[in-house]
């Protein structure tokens, strides 16, 4: 029998309205590296948060060293031997390496008030040496180190926090390789093996399948909050993992695929070699009249940042944007709006609507000119327009005067859409997760709406909530990975690419 360090039993996490994780039976043996792969939203991050006690499971149980494992916060998880290395590093830049390693545990290095830094530095170099990190000086400030070295310090810190025991500990690594170069990744893997060979275990989450296959002893595949496969390294190859990762494709009828428009010839939006330092580069694409261009990629692929650049939230470091063949520089979202590019943002409650304003006010927010006469708002005009849109989009509200914050997610989203398309002059719509947090019925209505919008000749750039959704709604797809466009795929209504076709380029 294998020596099991940590296991979950039927662990699940339910949020109001959604199931994030269901019946997870994960087993981590002593001295192994377990890979965790899956699309965004598959539940990997949720599981890591539960194992590190940042969140509590709503069902099932966990065990560490054969004993019940349950904690209220990260600190308690640390005490039980589980540590998490955060993707966004948790080190304090202005403190020294040693001070970071022993943050909150300074007591053992001094009298009541004054700390013996030399003693702490000696202890820190021991910690660093146990990972073979002799070239990192404990007295240096973290800000003086490069990213890879910081990551090593973070790992050493976490290991020191939870390790120091004979029975082994568990380290969680969340996307540790995403901004490392090849040499740094190789080094990281060496350290991971070292940690493993010292009798500890690691859960490694990454969207780069080749890396997961290279370093993991066993790989769990997640999909839609459930584990779909457990693959031993010797049996693992990327194709098997792709297959297990993607979901079933929903019928075309649900996405109204038969109403997908055949895009016109006229190019209304073009990006040439767009770049944002550290996020993406060389991104080029064209959007034609009445077309839905889907951008696929995992979180961190740069697709969100492309979106932000397109709608004027971020200024690109390079490349050009053309709207109707005229080059544009968007200083801010208002400039983008003026050029005819409007976005429906992801964080609807925060960026899309103003909750304390009425439905009518929200709808007219981007088209003040149209409802004003001599720069004075006509309340009647505004109310009439609002009523018109409420009827057209079937928004369930008590009337144009209702506060938008009281609407359900789907209806609030429809208000955002009404605002976006009621301007009239808008030619391009950037849809960032338009169906996130929206119930099934409202989703279908939004799909219908997207079809109607494109029939009117508006072009759409879409970041879908699921791969299935993006493929089904789009007539063309670009796939991004690590900041570059890896593929451009046609998606005509009668010949949609499969999810595996797309995932292949994403991971």
Partner 1 sequence: MATEENNSGTKADMITTTVADDFSERIAAERTRSRIVELGPLLVMLALIVAMSVFVRGFFTWNNLAALLQQIATPLVLSMGLTFVLLIGSIDLSLEGVMGFAGSIVALLVLNTKNQLDLGVVGILIAITAGTLFGILSGVLHTRLKIPSFMVTFGMGSAITGFGILSYRGIPASVNDPMFAHIAAGAFLGMPLLTWFALVVFFIALSIERYTAFGRHLFAIGENESMVRATGINVDTIKVIVFAWAAFCSSVAGVFGAIKLNIGQVIISNGFLFSTITAVVVGGTSLVGGSGGVVQSLVGVIIVTMIQDGMILLGVNAYVQPAVQGMIVIAAVSLTVARGRKLVFK
Count CB atoms within 10 A of the CB of residue 4. Answer: 15
Report whether 6 contacts 30 (CB < 8 A). no
- Residue of the chain from 239, 490, 498, 500 that contacts partner 1 (CB under 8 A): 490
Q: Tell me if 177 sits within 8 A of 206, measured CB to CB.
A: yes
The token duo for 401 is 């005067």
Q: List the x/- string, 299-338, binding to partner 1 by CB under 8 A.
A: --------------xxx----------------x------
Question: Is residue 94 close enough to count as binding partner 1 by CB under 8 A?
Answer: yes
Please identify which residue in 25, 129, 132, 143 interacts with partner 1, judged by CB under 8 A.
143
Binding of residue 284 to partner 1 (CB under 8 A): no
Estimate to the nearest angstrom the gap between the alpha carbon of 405 and the chain centroid. 25
Binding mask 195-224 for partner 1 (x = CB under 8 A): -------------x-x--------------
**DSSP-assigned beta bridge partners for residue 230:** 220
Task: Check residue 489 for interaction with partner 1 (CB under 8 A).
Answer: yes
Stretch that binds partner 1, among 166-174, 218-226, 266-274, 277-285 (CB under 8 A): 277-285
| CB-nearer residue toward partner 1: 210 or 325 | 210
User: Which region, judged by CB under 8 A, interacts with partner 1, from 195-203, 275-283, 451-459, 464-472?
Assistant: 275-283
Instruction: Report yes or no: 150 and 142 within 8 Å, Cβ to Cβ.
Output: yes
- H or E stretch at 95: none
Contact 59, 12 (CB under 8 A): yes
Count Cα neighbours of 139 within 13 Å in the Cβ-side half-sphere.
6
* H-assigned helices in 423-466: 440-455
In the set 18, 61, 73, 250, which binds partner 1 (CB under 8 A)? Answer: 73
Applying CB under 8 A, the span of 8-16, 23-31, 174-182, 259-267 interacting with partner 1 comes to 174-182
Q: Which of residues 103-132 bind partner 1 (CB under 8 A)?
A: 103-104, 106-107, 110, 113-115, 117
The verdict on 180 binding partner 1 (CB under 8 A) reads yes
Picking from 2, 9, 68, the residue whose alpha carbon sits closest to that of residue 29 is 2
In terms of Cβ atoms closer than 10 Å to its own Cβ (0-12, 13-18, 19+), residue 15 is exposed
For residue 18, the cross-strand partners are 15
Tell me the H-state helices in 163-285.
Answer: 182-197, 209-215, 238-245
Q: Quote the least distance from Cβ 214 to partner 1, whole Å.
A: 11
The residue (of 113 and 166) whose beta carbon lies closer to partner 1 is: 113
Residues that bind partner 1 (CB under 8 A): 73-75, 90, 92-95, 99, 103-104, 106-107, 110, 113-115, 117, 143-144, 146-147, 177, 179-182, 184-185, 208, 210, 277-281, 313-315, 332, 481-484, 486-490, 497, 501, 504-505
């Amino acid at each position: 029998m294998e020596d099991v360090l940590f296991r979950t039993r039927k662990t699940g996490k339910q949020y109001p309205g959604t199931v994030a994780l269901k019946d997870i039976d994960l087993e981590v043996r002593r001295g192994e590296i377990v890979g965790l792969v899956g699309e965004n939203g598959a539940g990997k991050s949720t599981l890591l948060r539960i194992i590190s006690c940042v969140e509590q499971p709503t069902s099932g149980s966990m065990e560490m060293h054969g004993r019940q494992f349950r904690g209220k916060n990260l600190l308690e998880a640390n005490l039980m031997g589980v540590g998490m290395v955060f993707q966004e590093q948790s080190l304090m830049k202005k403190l020294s390496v040693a001070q970071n390693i022993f943050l909150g545990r300074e007591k053992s290095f001094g009298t009541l008030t004054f700390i013996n830094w030399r003693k702490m530095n000696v202890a820190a170099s021991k910690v660093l040496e146990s990972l073979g990190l002799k070239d990192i000086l404990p007295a240096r400030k973290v800000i003086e180190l490069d990213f890879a070295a910081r990551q090593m310090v973070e790992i050493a810190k976490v290991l020191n926090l939870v390790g120091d025991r004979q029975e082994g500990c568990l380290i969680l690594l969340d996307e540790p390789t995403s901004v490392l170069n090849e040499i740094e990744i190789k080094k990281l893997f060496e350290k991971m093996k070292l940690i493993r060979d010292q009798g500890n275990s690691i859960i490694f989450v990454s969207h780069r399948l080749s890396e997961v296959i290279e370093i993991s002893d066993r790989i769990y595949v997640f999909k839609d909050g459930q584990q779909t496969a457990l693959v031993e390294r010797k049996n693992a190859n990327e194709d098997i993992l792709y297959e297990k990762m993607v979901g079933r494709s929903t019928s075309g009828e649900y996405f109204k695929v038969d109403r997908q428009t055949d895009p016109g010839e006229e190019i209304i939006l073009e990006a040439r070699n767009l770049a944002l330092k550290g996020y993406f580069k060389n991104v080029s694409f064209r959007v034609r009249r009445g077309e839905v261009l889907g951008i696929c990629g995992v979180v961190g692929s740069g697709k969100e940042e492309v979106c932000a650049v397109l709608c004027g939230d971020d200024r690109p470091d390079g490349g050009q944007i053309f709207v109707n063949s005229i080059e544009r520089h968007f200083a801010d979202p208002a400039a983008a709006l003026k050029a005819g590019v409007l976005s429906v943002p992801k964080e609807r409650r925060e960026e899309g609507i103003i909750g304390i304003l009425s439905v009518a006010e929200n709808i007219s927010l981007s088209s003040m000119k149209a409802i004003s006469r001599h720069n004075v708002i006509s309340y009647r005009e505004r109310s009439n327009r609002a009523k018109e849109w409420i009827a057209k989009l079937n928004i369930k509200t008590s009337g144009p005067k209702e506060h938008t914050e009281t609407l359900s997610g789907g209806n609030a989203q429809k208000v955002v859409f009404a605002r976006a398309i009621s301007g009239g002059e808008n030619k391009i719509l950037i849809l960032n997760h338009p169906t996130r947090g929206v119930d099934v019925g409202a989703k279908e209505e939004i799909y219908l709406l997207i079809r109607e919008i494109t029939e009117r000749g508006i072009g759409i750039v879409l970041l879908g909530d699921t791969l299935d959704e993006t493929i089904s709604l789009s007539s063309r797809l670009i796939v991004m990975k690590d900041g570059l466009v890896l593929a451009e795929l046609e998606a005509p209504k009668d010949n949609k690419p499969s999810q595996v076709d797309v995932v292949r380029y994403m991971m």
